[in-house]
Amino acid sequence: MVILCLTSLDVDAQGLESSLAQGSDESVYQIEKDSLLILTSTGCTLSISSALSAKWVHTSEPYFHSDTKGCYWLRGRVPVSKLKRGSHSDSLNVKSVWMVEAGHHGLNTMYVLDNGTLVDSVHMGNDLPLNKRAYPHVWSKSYLNIAPLEVANGHECELIFKYSNPYGQSLYGTNDELAITFVSPVIVDSDARLHLVFSGLMMGGLLLLFLYQLTQWMVYRTELGITYCFMLLGLMSYIMYDDFLLQAIFADRHVSELWLFVTGSLGLLGFFRFAQLTLKAVDFVPHRDKVLDILFKVKLIEVLVYLLLATFASTLWSRQLAAFVPETFRVLLLVTLLVFSYIVISHFRENKDATTRAFMLGNISLVTGVMIVTTQVYLLPFVDLFLVKLYLNIIWPFFDYIIEAGIVGMALCFAFAVAMLTKDREVKIERAYSRRLVDGEMKALRAQMNPHFLFNGLNSIKGFVIDNKRHEAAEYLSKFARLIRRILENSNASLIPLSRELETLEYYLEMETMRFGDHFSYAIDIDEELSVASIQVPPTLIQPFVENSIWHGLLPKTGEACHIDILVRKSSESQVQLIVEDNGIGREASAARRVNLPTKRKSLGMEITAERIAMLKELHGFSAELEVIDLKDEHQRAIGTRVVITLDQARELLLK
C-alpha cells in the first residue's frame, strides 16, 4: 500500500540534501530539479487521465505557488535504482520503503504510476483531518504530511502531485522549495520522537509554571499574576497547535490553521499586557506606556478578527479573507515586536534594577526565537548568498524548537520578574505597616511639642498682663494666635517645605523679640542657589534649637549686644545645612548656671526633635545629622554656640 505525506525541507535542507545525494549520506534523496515537470493547465476539475495526456513542461521556478485559485500539478520520476542503493538491502528484489514529501499545502493528491499505469492515489494536506491524511503518525513540523512509498527494481515509478491552497498558502508553507524529496523512515521516526520528547518537556515546564502562578494569584489576587497565567495559557495553546497536539486530540475533525493565529495572538496579547504591568511597577515613562497600550489594542483587534474568521472558517467570505492572514500575521508580528523591543531597550538603558533585567532577558528570549522563525521565509529567496545560506544551515537543525525554547526562556525570566515584584510588594506592605506605626508615634511626639509652645507663649502673655502692658499683650496675643494656627496646619504633615518652616520660625522670633525687647537681634540668611520651597523638612525642626539659644545662651548674657543667625547653606550637591549660631554664654556656662537655679528648666523641644529625626529616617528615609559646636576665641573663652543640622536631600530637590 502506498501512503503519501507532504512536508518541506525548504532551502535549509537543500545543502544537506545535495551532499546526501552525492553519497555522503543516502538517507535523504531529492529528485533532480531538471527532471521535474509542471502542467501548463491549472484546472482543478482536470482528471488524472486527462492530465497524463496534457502538455507537461520543465520549470525553473525554485518555489511552489501560493495562489488561492486553481490547482498546481507537479510530476517527477522516482529514482528506483538510487533509492534501492540507499536502502542498504543486499537483495535488489526486496522492496524498500521511503517517505515522500513535497511541501506544505492545504489539499494535495498524489498519484502513483508504475510503468505508466495508475496504481494508487492518496490524499493529504493541512486542511484535512489528521486521520484522513495519508500518514497521520508524525509529531514534527518538519514532516507535516509524509507517507511511505515502496519501491523495487523492475518498476518504472512516477509521482504526480495535484495540490491547491483554497485558503491561501499556510504559514509553514510560505516559500516552500519546489521539490520532491525521499526521506528514510528511520530519520522521520527519530526526528518525530525527539520532537515529542522536547515538546513534552517544554509543555510540562510551562504547565508547572502556570499552576504555580495560578496558586500565587489565588493568594495575592494581583492583576500581574492573573495576566501572567493568561499569557502562559495562550502560549501553551499556541504550542499545542504548533506541535500538532490539537490535531491529535481532534484527529477526525478539521482544525483550521486560523486557530494557530488565534492562539499565537492570544499569547502575545497577554505578553504585551504583562509587559505593561511589569514596567509600570518599575516607574515606566508615561509616553512609553501609551505605546505599549497601542500595541496591546492592536493585538486585541487581531485576536478578535482571527477568532471571527476561525469560527466561520467554512463560509466563503472567511475563506477569501483567510488567504491574507498568514502574511498579515507575520508582518504585524515583526512590526509589533520590533516596536516593543525598542521601548524595552530604551527603558533598560535608564533602569537596570533586577526586575527590569529579568524582564529584558525574557523579552530577548521570546523576540529572538520569533524573529528567527518568522524572518526565515523572507531569506529563502536569497539562499544563493553565502552568508544567508550559512545562517539557514545553522538554524535548521534547531528550527522545530526555536520558538518553543524562546517561550520557555521568556516564561522562566518573567516568573523571576513576578517573584521580584511580589517580594517588593510584600516589602512595601511591611513598610506601610511600619510607617503607620511610626506615624502614630510621630503624632504623639507632636502632641508633646504643642503644649510646650502653649506653655511658653502663655507665660509671655501673663508677663505683659502683670506689667499692665495691654497694647503689647494684645499684639503679642495676635502673633501668638497666628503662630498657633501655623503650627496646627503643619501638625498633620510629617514633612513640609523648608520655606514654610522658616516662615513659622520667623513668627516665633518676632514674638520673642517683642517679649524681650532689644535684648537680642536675629537674621535669617538663605543660600541663593537653593530653592527652599522644594526642600522637605519635618515641621518645627529648627525652632527648639533657636529657643534653646535664646533662653540659655543670649538671655543670661550681659554687657554687649546679643545676636542669633539662622543660615541655610548648600554644602554639596545632595546636602543642605541648617545652622543656628549665637554669641551667647556657651554651653558650659549655661550648664553651670542651671545648677544654681532653684527651678530646673529642661529643654524638652531639643530632646523631642532628636527623637523625631530618628523616626523620620525610618518612616521616609529622611536622613539628618545633628552637630553642636562650642565657639571659642583665641584664649579658649566661650563666645557662643553653633548648631548644624545636615540634611541629605535628593538631587532633584535642589535648584540646579
The secondary structure element, H or E, covering residue 358 is helix 354-379
The amino acid that residue 504 corresponds to is T
* 94: amino acid identity, one letter: V
Highest mean pLDDT of the ranges 245-254, 333-342, 416-425, 444-453: 333-342
Q: Which of 178-192, 600-614, 626-640 has the lowest mean pLDDT?
A: 600-614
Band (259; pLDDT cuts 50, 70, 90): confident
Task: Work out the burial of residue 408: count CB atoms within 10 Å of its CB; fewer than 13 is exposed, 13-18 middle, 19 or more buried.
Answer: buried
pLDDT at position 438 is 59
- Condensed to tens digits (0 to 9), the pLDDT of residues 546-566 reads 888 888 888 888 878 899 999
Q: What is the pLDDT of residue 567?
A: 93
**What local confidence, expressed as pLDDT, does residue 89 receive?**
42
**What is the identity of the amino acid at 384?**
D
What is the Cα–Cα distance from 626 to 55, expressed in whole angstroms? 101
| 585-621 pLDDT per residue, tens | 888 888 887 766 555 555 555 666 676 666 666 656 6
> What confidence score (pLDDT) does residue 565 get?
93
Least confident of 11-20, 320-329, 521-530, 550-559: 11-20
Q: Check residue 105 and report its DSSP letter.
A: -
In the block, cell 540646579 appears at: 656
What pLDDT does 106 receive?
Answer: 77
Separation between Cα atoms, residue 653 and residue 534, nearest integer Å: 5
How much is the average pLDDT of 435-445?
Answer: 58
Q: Specify the 3-state DSSP secondary structure of 89.
A: coil
pLDDT band at 285 (very low <50, low <70, confident <90, very high): confident
Helix (H/G/I), strand (E/B), else coil: 393 = helix
Residue 402: pLDDT over 60? yes
- CB-based contact 415:585 (threshold 8 Å): no
Percentage of the chain surpassing pLDDT 90? 4
Rg (CA), the chain: 42
Out of 21-30, 103-112, 483-492, 524-533, least confident range: 21-30
Confidence of residue 656 (pLDDT cuts 50, 70, 90): very low
pLDDT at 5: 29
137 with 148: CB under 8 angstroms?
no
- Element (DSSP H or E) covering residue 646: strand 638-648
CA distance 363 to 40: 48
Q: Contact 426/250 with Cβ under 8 angstroms?
A: no
Q: pLDDT value at position 19?
A: 32
pLDDT at position 25: 44
Q: Has residue 537 got a pLDDT over 90?
A: no
Q: Which of 144-148, 173-177, 390-394 has the lowest mean pLDDT?
A: 173-177
Write down the pLDDT at residue 184. 83
When pLDDT is cut at 50, 70 and 90, the band that residue 578 belongs to is very high
pLDDT of residue 1: 41
Residue 90 confidence class, pLDDT cut points 50, 70, 90: very low
Q: What is the mean pLDDT of residues 196-207?
A: 84
- CA-nearest of 127, 99, 119, 80 to 6 is 99
Average pLDDT for the chain: 77
Pick from 634, 546, 230: which is nearest to 414 by CA?
230
Task: Mean pLDDT check: name the lowest of 15-19, 314-318, 544-548.
Answer: 15-19
Share of the chain above pLDDT 70, in %: 79
Q: For residue 7, is pLDDT > 60?
A: no
Q: For the residues 64-79, what does the mean pLDDT come to? A: 74
The DSSP element (H or E) to which 58 belongs, if any, is strand 56-58
Q: Dihedral (C-alpha) 83, 88, 91, 95: value to the nearest 10 degrees? A: -50
CA gap 294, 277 in Å, rounded: 14
Q: Above 70 in pLDDT, residue 655? A: no
d(Cα 28, Cα 14) in Å, to the nearest integer?
11
Write down the pLDDT at residue 566.
93
Domains of the chain with CATH codes: 11-183 (2.60.40.2380), 190-426 (1.20.1070), 515-653 (3.30.565.10)
pLDDT of residue 154: 62
If phi > 0 it is left, if psi is from -120 to 50 it is alpha, else beta; for residue 384 that is alpha
Q: Report the chain's terminal Cα–Cα distance, integer Å.
A: 86
Is residue 133 a contact partner of residue 7, using CB atoms and an 8 Å limit?
no
Beta bridge partners of 28: 183
What's the pLDDT band for 173 if we cut at 50, 70, 90? Answer: low
The pLDDT of residue 524: 92
> Which residues are registered as beta bridge partners of 416?
none
User: Distance between CA atoms of 501 and 499, rounded to whole angstroms?
Assistant: 5
Return the SS3 of 161.
strand
Tell me how far apart the alpha carbons of residues 237 and 264 are, in angstroms, rounded to a whole number: 8
Strands laid side by side in the 575-582 sheet: 520-526, 562-572, 575-582, 638-648, 623-632
The pLDDT of residue 301: 93
Contacts of residue 75, defined as CB under 8 A and 6 or more positions apart, other chains included, come to 36, 37, 38, 39, 56, 158, 159, 160, 161
At residue 440, does pLDDT exceed 60?
Answer: no
Angle in degrees, CA 618, 623, 629, rounded to 5: 130
| pLDDT at res. 14 | 37
| Beta strands, E only, 375-518 | 496-497
Provide the 10 A C-beta neighbour count for residue 330. 19
Among the listed residues 557, 600, 597, 578, the one whose alpha carbon sits nearest the alpha carbon of residue 644: 578
Q: Angle at Cα 377 formed by Cα 376 and Cα 378, nearest 5°?
A: 90
pLDDT exceeds 90 at position 80:
no
* DSSP three-state, residue 389: helix
Give 588's contacts (C-beta < 8 A, 6+ positions apart): 630, 638
User: Band of the pLDDT at 145, cuts 50, 70, 90?
Assistant: confident
What would the grid cell of residue 425 be?
510588594
DSSP 173: T
* Coil vs helix vs strand at 110: strand
What's the rounded Cα separation, in Å, for the pair 563 and 83?
110
Partners of 58 in the β-ladder: 37
